[in-house]
Amino acid sequence: MRPSSPGATRSSPSTNLITGRRENLAQLDGEPGFSFVECDVSAEMPVTGDVDFIMHFASPASPFEYLAHPFETLDAGSLGTRRCLELARATGARFLLASTSEIYGEPREHPQTESYWGTSTASARARCTTKPSASRRRSR
């Protein structure tokens, strides 16, 4: 949520930038109420003050990144979620956990509905060794 969105007063995204780039947030620099926090959510949640919402999107979003960072991916999903939930409990914030759509394979419908189960078995080793998806090729 942009800090300038109705009802928002402050936005503090945090990431360790393991697969991201700081310049992806450049358009928000200078926005009132925006501050970026570089951290690893599986290790710490350096957030102070009032918190209304916690949105946890902390995971590499590509099978190729899972292979390059297997422990970090697991830590973001488990320890990172725990840290976010602990912060939500301590502050009374609402919590949202988002999953990467990569685990569902190449979608046969757009947008994917809540009832759509995808085209792959998420636990299969082959999921991490397939060719880049169309969306992955476009993003490079």
> Distance (Å, rounded) from C-alpha 12 to C-alpha 54?
10
Q: pLDDT for 63-96, tens place per residue?
A: 777 788 889 888 888 998 999 899 899 989 899 8
- CATH 3.40.50.720 applies to domain 14-98: yes
- pTM score, whole prediction: 0.65
- Average confidence (pLDDT) over 40-53: 84
> Taking the CB of residue 31, how many other CB atoms lie within 10 A of it?
13
What are residue 54's phi and psi, to 5 degrees? -125, 120
Locate the domains of the chain by residue range.
14-98
Average pLDDT, the chain: 75
CA 29 from centre of chain: 20
Contacts of residue 127, defined as CB under 8 A and 6 or more positions apart, other chains included, come to 63, 103, 105, 120, 121
Could you identify the residue written with the tokens 């960072």? Answer: 69
